[in-house]
Amino acid sequence: MTKSKPPPGMPGGLSLLQDPVLNKGTAFTEHERDALGLRGLLPPRAFTQDEQVARALENFHRQHDDLEKYVFMTALHDRNETLFYRMVIDHIEEMMPIIYTPTVGEACEAYGHIYRRPRGVYVSAEDRGRVAEVLGNWPQKHVRVIVVTDGSRILGLGDLGANGMGIPVGKLSLYTACAGIPPAQCLPVTLDVGTNNEALLDDPLYIGLPQTRLQGADYDDLVDEFVQAVRKRYPDVLLQFEDFSNGNAFPLLRKYRDVLCCFNDDIQGTASVVLAGLHSALRIRGGALRDQMILFLGAGEAGVGIADLVVSGMVEEGLTPDAARSRCWFVDSRGLVVKSRRDLEEHKIPYAHDHAPAPDLRGAVEAVRPTVLVGASGQPGMFTQAIVEDMARLNDRPILFALSNPTSMAECTAEQAYVWTGGRAVFASGSPFAPVTYAGRTFVSGQANNAYVFPGIGLGVLASRASKVTDEMFMAAAVALAGLASEHDLEQGRIFPALSSIRSASATIARAVAEIAYEQGLAREKRPDDLSAWIQSLIYEPHYADYAEKRPARAF
């Protein structure tokens, strides 16, 4: 047998099999095995990608719990990126709860103990003065989406420090799986500024700096150095801030939203998906958004972000901004947010109304008499039976959104919402719940997952090369998503389309977002004759290339 050589610049032999971007495993053809020096390094039989998916799925189902399934999928990602995305896309409803919420929360808590191979870039407090150099170590030159966290508020779990890297890794997996952003264009980043979590500081396997968090000017300077390095190295990038604490999330968004193309998913992405859910819920119950009285449990970045976008939606329906804000109320750890309180943070002040205090959520429900109750508290079980029954007494079809993640942090379960309201609730949650059968009817609750909007927003921004992300884009995404819930979905109680259609939904949202970019003069890409076709042409599909003929492009 004549010994073959791989094409110029193409790794061969074991080096190729150890490259997750180029590796095809047992799917290398006979011709490729000869051309790439793989003969004898693989079992003799060549398999199709579909057969590989079947094998991987069989092994996935052998894992004993969800964390083991997460580790299995991480290992697959590290071994064969194309097969990983094929499996996730083809089985998105089963895979999303594993690679993202709720399992990613458990994975982040155990990150130092399940760590295997590096993924993404860690910028630590010790890198001040050389952040650009650290960022330059990332091999891809054409990054278009960065998700960055400082690990200070991971889901509803709090400060997980450098263990929070699981969040940007998971989010970017969804950018690819749900919207087809090429994985080579995605970069997860963790700013390791320390942690105040004593359990992590005492953990000998914690992967981050074993020190308390940077604060004040030191923290601000590191973040600013990172942002400036990103602007210089990746001028067309979309930067997504993720899981920053309230004290930093709002100031960072205000500081940088006009400096580079960026957004905060917890503030703006959550708002968009919840506004979409409200529009869909009102298709079930009837009525206009402008007429709703909305009570929020939790006055952090998610709750206030939702309220801000809801206010914009009410203004679109004819209310003044003041009148719209008067229909949004908040309960925080000290009770109803009212003007007479002297302990209010800046982001709460626009929603502090002239009203008598109420000490807790139940008292606030009685005082405000809301039509919609939104939980964004990170506190499990806060929608008690008494409170849910109060909502059912006040409303024929109470709208209940228990948004806190992961599932263990939900304000109530789907079953509780349906049973305690006699099957009358319109319910959605941040993490998935199984269908509920009550009084002979099966309810399939909606999952108000940000994955419905942020991948499509990213695709629309990239397709138009928008210079910034605006509130109008999130409004357009919400309207587009709400329109995708079918009558069949609504009959089941599901106010969002099935996850199985999420790639199609993302393309629809991307078009709506790109349209806004062109309308607002923010697009740097010349408008194509057929915008939908242009967006479709950009979407990554995880199919194997013929490597025996030429080396595939690794950058897009």
* Set 24, 171, 348, 452: catalytic member: 171
Cα–Cα nearest to 186, from 200, 162, 170, 166: 170
Residues 57-85: what's their mean pLDDT? 98
Residue 267 has what pLDDT?
A: 94
Cβ neighbours around 439 below 10 Å, total: 8
Q: Is 17 within a domain? A: no
Contacts of 129 (CB under 8 A, 6+ apart): 225
Residues 316-338: what's their mean pLDDT? 97
Q: Is-catalytic flag, 100?
A: yes
* Three-state DSSP string of 294-344: EEEECCCHHHHHHHHHHHHHHHHCCCCHHHHHCCEEEEECCEECECCCCCC
Q: Is 93 within a domain? A: no
CATH number for the domain including 228?
3.40.50.10380
Tally: H helices and E strands in the chain: 24, 14
* In the predicted structure, residue 305 carries a pLDDT above the cut 50: yes
* Set 70, 100, 256, 351: catalytic member: 100
Q: Are residues 215 and 296 in the same domain?
A: no
Q: pLDDT (tens digit, 9 = 90+) per residue, 25-55?
A: 999 999 999 999 999 999 999 999 999 999 9
**CB hemisphere CA count around 231 (13 angstroms):** 15
| Band of residue 3 on the pLDDT scale cut at 50, 70, 90 | low
CATH number for the domain including 306?
3.40.50.720
* In the predicted structure, residue 1 carries a pLDDT above the cut 80: no
Angle at 145 between CA 555 and CA 272, to 5 degrees: 145
Contact criterion met (CB below 8 Å) for 380 and 408: yes
Could you tell me how far CA 508 lies from the centroid of its own chain? Answer: 18
Task: Please state the domain count of the chain.
Answer: 2
Ramachandran region, residue 166 (left: φ > 0; alpha: ψ -120 to 50; beta: rest): alpha
Strands 372-375 and 335-336: unpaired
Residue 127 has what pLDDT?
A: 98
Q: Are residues 391 and 449 in the same domain?
A: yes
Say whether 274 sits in a helix, a strand or coil: helix
Residues 242-249: what's their mean pLDDT? 94
**Of the candidates 243, 260, 277, which is a domain's last residue?**
260
Reading the block at residue 276, the tokens are: 């979409």
Q: Are residues 227 and 290 in the same domain?
A: no
Query: In DSSP terms, which residues pair with 513 in a beta bridge?
Result: none
Q: Is 41 within a domain? A: no
Residues 16 and 37: their CA atoms lie apart, in Å, by 9
Q: Which domain holds residue 390?
A: 267-525
Q: Are residues 230 and 302 in the same domain?
A: no
* In the predicted structure, residue 551 carries a pLDDT above the cut 50: no
Residues 298 and 287: their CA atoms lie apart, in Å, by 25
Q: Is-catalytic flag, 85?
A: no
Average pLDDT over the chain, rounded to an integer = 95
